[in-house]
Structure 1
Amino acid sequence: MSTTIPIYANLLPPSWKVKVTSWLAEDCPSFDWGGFVVGEDIKRATLFCKSEGVLAGVPFFDEVFKQLDCKVHWNFREGEYLRSSTPGQKVKIAVATVEGPSRKILLGERVALNTLARCSGIATASSLFAQKARDAGYQGIVAGTRKTTPGFRDVEKYGMLVGGVDMHRYDLSSMVMLKDNHIWSTGSVKNAVASARSVCGFSLRIDVEVQSYDEAVEAIEAGADVIMLDNMEGETLISNAKRLKQEWSGKHKFLLESSGGIDIDNVKQGGHVDNSIDIISTSSIHQSTKHVDFSLKIDPSS
């Protein structure tokens, strides 16, 4: 049976290339003084990776230079983990080459590097987090959150995907999530779920954030599809999760989600990890995440 490497770029919406155009416009809103200095000679530049990490963001990097009439050739596939071949040695890996007019290579340099570094950083954090959860024996879904940077969500969600975690809901229209403010505004979990279901119909799941076992039961009885046990941990989280699964077995199908304060340091058995929990969601893989370090250097002899 042949194994097909997924092409995640095929998932990107039609609008993403327009965003790349806007990034270039933001970075050079007027005259390109440095571009005047280097001119139009055709040059070749090497993209170096200078820190370990998962390569992610290739479509965005490619599109930056495509719009600038440059060609990119990759030496690695997206999703590969880049590391030094010699343990303990400083990382410097020739990941790709860019060829085109020197002015245009430098025009796209910073936009392309920033995007690649951010996307690869999120993919790396996602991969490490998911592996830590698996090492702890967790078999459920590991997901990111919607706490992404406005205008940069495509890149950040894409990084999660390449890193091997679920992207959770993409935006407010993707899945109905009813949090504490929704519940307080409508008076009860039951009211909030009923109101949401009356307009979203059968095609969207409803995810309800709850603070206690009693609220979880109310959400299940109201017909919620996902019960988010928010900011619960340790014995409280695990005992509630097991009790809910046992008491509602064969009566109503739902998923249990653990969220709030979960990071790579506390993803372990007895903390947030137990296989009675279907989903672990975290923002730690994309907020305050360290970037992967890349640089682009023009070959003087090219």
Structure 2
Amino acid sequence: MGSLAPLPQVILEPIVRGALLEDLGRAGDITSDAIIPVDCKATLALNARQAGVVAGLDLVMFAFLLVDPGISMQLRCPEGGKVSAGETIALVNGSARSLLSAERTALNFLCKLSGIATATAGLVNAVRGHNAKIVCTRKTTPGLRVLEKYAVRAGGGSNHRFALDDAVLIKDNHIAIAGDIRTAIERARSAIGHMVKIEVEVDTLDRLEMALQASVDAVLLDNMSVEDLTTAVAMVGGRAITEASGRITRASAAGIAATGVDLISVGWLTHSAPILDVGLDVPVDGNCSQRLN
């Protein structure tokens, strides 16, 4: 995807460094250090074992370079690109010890983010032809939100708010504690700046009407049937952004998009999308007798 902007290195570096420190422990990779001669060089291949969308290559490169600045990587598939089962994503060259020491950290990032990108692309394809955008939520792995939301973009999706200070999202518990929808909205509006938008979660058409009367910017239509979503979009009539949420699957996404909603938010994209299986493979004849000059 040519329009996919990479994440700044200042964001990536501490995340990758922390993951490497976790894996290297107190003494480094004692297995590779014991078995592989210090001067052994290797060329290894990152091979996709499933078809999917690739995301996380900058993290892969960082993982190798932080272990050993002498490692190089040659890309065969671009970030956000589609890959077939058996296809080589990239080749990495350098110290065999270093390559193996960074292997698991690099693959953990690549498999996880590519899995999110692949799942997102599946939903984006499912709603193609409709105006609805696929968006993620805050249901992310602690400490990895920026990466997981990036992977959603790599798969062709869009991001919902990144954090609690991005926008006001009044949910059912806020309404229950405040007493009613109008009170919650009025309190929020009196407390926020002019740049902040207000979205309200509703699960019935009656509650939707109450939210619309208070002139909110967006409505989250939670766990509504396709019939109610169609009615809700007609009720809103363009006065607010409409977001459908709740148990969205690839099978149900097209029908939901056909109701005319603007957004379809999907929590499982970031909290439980299956990984894309990628391996770091040694060529059949790849051993220390083959040294890079």
TM-score (norm 1): 0.87
- Determine if contact 2:124/2:156 at 8 Å carries over to the other structure: yes
> Residues 234-245 of structure 1 correspond to what in structure 2 (within 5 A)?
234-245=226-237
Contact 1:125 1:286 in 2 (8 A): no
Partner of 2:74: 73
Counterpart for residue 150 of structure 2: 158
SS of alignment partner, residue 142 of structure 2:
coil
Q: Which of 103, 107, 126 does residue 109 from structure 1 map onto? A: 103
Contact kept, 8 Å, 2:130 with 2:260, in 1: the verdict is no
2:213 corresponds to which letter in structure 1? E
Q: Does the 8 A contact of 2:230 with 2:259 survive in 1?
A: no
User: 8 Å contact 1:46–1:96 — kept in the other structure?
Assistant: yes
Residue matched to 2:2: 5
| Structure-2 residue corresponding to 1:254 | 240
Residue in 2 that maps onto 1:282: 266
Note the C-alpha offset of 1:12.
4.1
Aligned to 1:220, which of 208, 212, 216? 212
**Is contact 1:129–1:285 with CA below 8 Å preserved after alignment?**
no
- Bigger CA drift: 39-48 or 178-187? 39-48
Asked if structure 2 preserves the Cα contact closer than 8 Å seen for 1:138 and 1:275, the reply is: no
Question: Could you tell me which residue of structure 1 aligns to residue 59 of structure 2?
Answer: 60
- Unaligned 5+ runs, structure 1: 84-90
1:296 aligns with 2:293: no
Contact 1:43 1:102 in 2 (8 A): yes
- Cα gap change, 1:39 to 1:157, in 2 (>3 Å): farther
Instruction: Count residues in correspondence.
Output: 281
Distance in 2 of aligned mates of 1:203 and 1:181: 24
After TM superposition, give the deviation of residue 13 of structure 1 in Å: 7.4
C-alpha separation in 1, matches of 2:222 and 2:131: 20
Q: CA deviation at 1:200?
A: 2.5
In structure 2, the CA distance between the partners of 1:47 and 1:215, relative to structure 1 (3 Å rule), is same
1:101-250, aligned counterparts within 5 Å? 101-134=95-128, 137-245=129-237
Q: What root-mean-square deviation, in Å, do the aligned CA atoms of Structure 1 and Structure 2 show?
A: 1.8
Query: 4+ residue stretches of structure 1 with deviation over 6 A?
Result: none
1:170 Cα offset (Å): 1.3
- The answer to whether the Cα contact below 8 Å between 2:75 and 2:90 also exists between their aligned partners in 1 is yes
Q: Look up the equivalent residue of 1:201 and give its one-letter code.
A: G
User: CA contact under 8 A between 1:193 and 1:223: conserved in structure 2?
Assistant: no
d(CA) in 2 for partners of 1:7 and 1:264?
23
For residues 73 and 9 of structure 2, the distance between their equivalents in structure 1, rounded to whole angstroms, comes to 22
Q: Conserved in 1, the CA contact under 8 Å of 2:63 and 2:102?
A: yes
Is contact 1:12–1:154 with CA below 8 Å preserved after alignment?
no
SS in 2 for 1:67: helix
CA-CA distance at 1:284 after TM superposition: 3.3
Letter in 2 for 1:40: V
1:87 equivalent in structure 2 = none
Equivalent position amino acid for 2:64 in 1: F
Change (3 A) 1:12 1:195: farther
Q: Structure 2: any 5+ residue segments left out of the alignment?
A: none
**Structure 1 position 7, deviation (Å):** 4.4
Letter paired with 1:59: D
Indicate the residue corresponding to 1:35 in structure 2. 32
